Amino acid sequence: MGYSNINIIDNHSTYKPLLEYYESTDCKVFYMTKNHGHMVFWECDEFRPYRNELYVVTDPDILPVDDCPVDFMEKLYHCLKKYPGIRKAGMSLKIDDIPKDAPLHDDVIRWESRFYRAKVPFTNCYVADVDTTLALYMPDCLNISKNFLFAVRLGEPYQLRHLPWYKTKIEITQEDREYAESRITGFWDEAEGKMRVDVTEYR
């Protein structure tokens, strides 16, 4: 799609195939000396200069749906301009095609359905939290201690698939297991097929 200035933050990975992949990519890779968790971009000072202009942060395990329009970044920017009280705009996560036999199916539906409730009238947007799935951020050093999740999400067809949700038990790989064992934050444990937090705590 013509995007450039793409950087990768490696949170002290030990998975050899991933480290080998870095050697073949043209993207700049920042190698962390420890696992800082999913908020590494905002908690490490070396990334502060990137927040002086519009920026995008995304998790590595999502993909746009096949029919996602290529102008999604333009749409995200339009949301930020239209709603000045919003500091970031993301895309909705598709949940209506997750295999019924995927271990995470029930938890995902129960958790994610809430983010389709608050539709902005006469728009294709929802007021819905966005964590570190793909989002466009306003330029400034975002105060991560205040309203970090508050955002708008674009509705269909501007959607993403969170790939771990789609895995059935027989599709769990050694990579999934190593990732689940090494990470220190996150909601979803695809290796065990369950959420890592109690859904009721967030209702």
SS (H, E, C) 135-165: EEECCCCCCCCCCCCCCEEEEEEEEEEEHHH
**pLDDT-derived band at 203, boundaries 50, 70, 90:** very low
- Contacts (Cβ under 8 Å, ≥6 apart) of 191: 172, 176, 177, 179, 180, 181
- Contacts (Cβ under 8 Å, ≥6 apart) of 68: 91, 157, 158, 159, 160
For residue range 110-131, list pLDDT tens digits in order.
999 999 999 999 899 999 999 9
Residues, the chain, total? 203
Which residues sit opposite 152 in a β-bridge? 89, 127
pLDDT at 91: 97
Q: What pTM, to 2 d.p., does this model score?
A: 0.85
pLDDT at 85: 87
Residue 124 sits at φ, ψ, to 5 deg, of -110, 35
pLDDT at 97: 97
For residue range 76-93, list pLDDT tens digits in order.
999 999 998 899 999 999
- pLDDT of 202 > 90? The answer is no
pLDDT at 193: 56
- pLDDT of 8 > 70? The answer is yes
For residue range 28-45, list pLDDT tens digits in order.
999 999 999 999 999 999
pLDDT at 3: 83
For residue range 126-182, list pLDDT tens digits in order.
999 999 999 999 987 556 656 889 999 999 999 999 999 998 876 677 776 666 665
Residue whose C-alpha is closest to residue 41's, from 130, 128, 129, 132:
132
